[in-house]
Amino acid sequence: MAKLFFDGKAVPIGPSESILDALLRDGYNVPYGCKSGACQSCMLQAQSGELPANCQPGLSDSLKQLGYFLSCSCYPKADATLQVHSSPDSVQKVPAVVKEKTFIGKNTLRLRLRAAINYQPGQYLTVWKDAKLARSYSIASVASLQPELEFHIKHIPQGEFSNWVATALQTGDTLYLQGPMGTCFYTSGKPEQPLVLAGIGTGLAPLYGILREALEQQHSGEVFLYVGAKSSENFYYVEKLKQLESSYSNVQVKFICQHTTADHSGDYYVPGDIYEIIKQRHPDMKQHKIFLCGAESFVRKLKKQCFLAGANMNEILVDTFLAFKS
């Protein structure tokens, strides 16, 4: 059985247990978020011992060399002895000042932060409330268009982080950012390529950034944006996207849902199933670049559908929102 030492103290660890789960079970208050290797909030540093493969996804080469790893994804080998540190102090967290907090939809908050950070629209950052609580959010802003970082946060009343943002966070407060991470962003080089962007709920956030970045970079090919929701009352940024569509002849935006109210009918809102509508409108996707953002089941199903319609897997970029209480 593996031997684990945390800040010098032995911690029992089961044969198929992650280091994070072993520490939490033993009563340590270790920060974590997604438990899926995406947000990096559970990062620890190994002092000695051999780390298993696949416990450093997405970390920079320098962090890897320094022995940093994601404890939620670290399952030590049976014969390993690992000494790990509690606080990765050398991992840089950038302070960010809250500039705006506004409800932009029924359950959707817009948070705008000012921070010295370089990013690509569509990447994500881990936002730390304090040393223990963090969540990851995709970036909806484009640095050349607005000075603040913008996030769209689904407000879950019982969610520890999102409810704190909704009820307690104030303009002028300071948060800390880690990242950016993720590869779901626009790159120039094929300006005539048709783009399909599809998302559910706050999956619109990265797509909104990607869309505006593509237009900023003079993308001339057709751009199709599909936003899905269970009900039309959950949509947000409708007017902004209408304006964008009327300003660019190569942009088409559709809001798709099973149920539309009387005032939400018409060409802009399409009743129906988002998978079927995309299938009908794009039977051949061999030439397309595709961006998919939202819940895991949505991204997985639509990615397969796009692949079956001929899309190159390298041309399908995804931002999967992980299912944990926010």
| Contact flags string 27-46 toward ligand FES, x per CB under 6 A | -----xxxx-xxxxxx----
Contact between 229 and ligand FES (CB under 6 A)?
no
d(CA 241, CA 109): 17
Least Å distance between CB 15 and ligand FES?
20
Residue pair 139/121 in contact (Cβ under 8 Å)? The answer is yes
- Closest CB to ligand FES among residues 225, 318: 318
Residue pair 46/67 in contact (Cβ under 8 Å)? The answer is yes
CA 276 to chain centre: 25
Where b means 16+ CB within 10 Å and e means fewer, 126-135 reads: bbbbeeeebb
Token pair of 223 as six digits:
């751009």
- Closest CB to ligand FES among residues 72, 317: 72
| Contact flags string 63-92 toward ligand FES, x per CB under 6 A | -------x-x--------------------
Least Å distance between CB 133 and ligand FES?
12
Which residues, listed in sequence order, are joined to residue 46 by a DSSP beta bridge? 84
Least Å distance between CB 175 and ligand FES?
17
- Closest CB to ligand FES among residues 277, 322: 322
- In the sheet with 108-114, reading across from the earlier edge strand, the strands are 134-138, 124-128, 174-181, 94-103, 108-114, 149-154
Q: How many residues form the binding site for ligand FES (CB under 6 A)?
A: 12
- Closest CB to ligand FES among residues 43, 257: 43
Residues contributing to the site for ligand FES (CB under 6 A): 32-35, 37-42, 70, 72
